[in-house]
A and B are shown apart, each in its own frame.
Chain A
Amino acid sequence: MPAQVYLDYQSAKPVDPRVVDAMRPWFTEHFGNPSSLHTDGDEATEALEMSREKVARFIGANKDEIIFTSGATESNNLAIMGYVTRNRGRGNHIVIAESEHISTHNIAKAVEKQGFKVSKVGVDQYGRVSVEKLRRKVIDATIIVSIGWASSEIGTIQPMQEIADALHGRGIALHSDAVAAEGLVSIDMRKVPVDLLTISSNDIYGPKGIGALYVRKSINIAPIMPGGGQERGLRSGSENMPAIVGMAAAAQIMASEMPQEMPRLAQYRDRLIDGVLGRIPRSYLNGHPKERLPNNAHFRFEAIEGESLLLSLKDKGIAVSTGSACSSKTLEPSHTLISCGLLHEEAHGSLEFTFGRWSKSTDVDRVLEVLPGVVERLRSMSPLYQKEVKL
């Protein structure tokens, strides 16, 4: 498990050793293909359906509403692309939130190329979608709305119940990418009428490379990848049995541990937020002050740049993330931060801490011990901060 002070659980999580144990027999001992009709195949079929049941239970769904995929990106593509392809006769308009992760924006771009129109609903300064604004974006031609349950970056949780209520009865499908929220907020498909839901395995301490799409019974989608017709014809390809068994084990563990885990992480989060804002002048919290994931603390520091912060913390054995352009592949700052109304220079100075299963109270102590000095050192070099002090 993480040796250093690992506070970047939103980027990647270790696989829980209990999950690894559950997976192990499915590499060598049980290697059957669920499509085979002999004993090995039957064994695999049984494990596949039992895993489906466990994943379904985790989100309050029925077993036959779960489609296994290769992960969140594929689930999002299958949900949005698969839905518009199947339902294009009903309209040519889709709506996403401005604050969505760049991957959703890119799927929307691909949908646009298919002749659809895309509207983007803005968010407030905390990254929250306004239901009023969403209502105004929805038109007769709208067939699907896609809004992430929570932001993996700034931690803001969307009012999914209100959003679902606003769309109810209008014949519009609602998709939500829930990878940031799963395991951190309670998600129950019996309560919130979301039609398509993306979940991934690594986000609940399962293996990478496996995920699922929940498809409500009344919703029809088309496959995006033709093939042998596995997963009700919606996702072809021989089932990745070790990973599927692993995801199911991870979901089961998460479901039973969430009630204790959520308040534990929230306590670390709150202590870190109070400590940082209290000790470091001109530091600010990004994202919503209350409606935020229990494991997420996201800050910006005036007059310094995020990659410098990240490197300095790396030297002290602390792993974090930043939304700064300087650490991205494109040299563009985080789209989510910009959609909240931040200036580029503010987005550059952002730093994200996310707690997880192996986080300890001493991790918070260590950050609070080290961060003020790191910020001060970088500010002492920054021409932007000098100006502040002089005047």
Chain B
Amino acid sequence: MSVEMLERTDVAAPKPQVQDKLTIFAWSGELDKIWPTLILATTGAAMGKETTIFFTFWGLFPLVKNDVRITGENWMQKMLSMMNRGGDEHLKLTKMNFIGAGPAMMGHLAREHHVASPHELMEIAKDLGVHLVPCQMTMDLMGLKKEDLIDGLEEPAGATKALADAQGGMTLFI
């Protein structure tokens, strides 16, 4: 074996194109977790970051259209949607829910203080080009179909796509 050292030619090293990225894994579907998820995502996009929210497990239910009541094909999936209504206007609180009184009061306070609702923030996120990606596996598991979910989402994807997109960026799991 021989090694021959060649004279180095001055090639301008390509600048590493590290894209400023934010990926949020939205695992929780409650009002008080989806809310900061959407606040952080819209802010990330406003800061010029390529922003993605990957919605998985309970995080998928806020993406259900507000007028869709029962989803799923078998009784277990239907029961799940009965017990856990989807839609960004039907979210529950992780604490102090009081059968919906908590979220209603939270909504009242938010309007009083001009805080954008999750529904408004979802629209702003779409407008700012935030990638909203539903998890295909959870959709299958919970019996959610594309037509059950709101418009403006990207194609459902898996964990590999989510991790590949997140690579080299900032990641949050909420």
Query: Do A and B share a complex?
Result: no
The chain B residues found within 8 Å of chain A, CB to CB, are none
Which A residues lie at the B interface, using CB under 8 A?
none
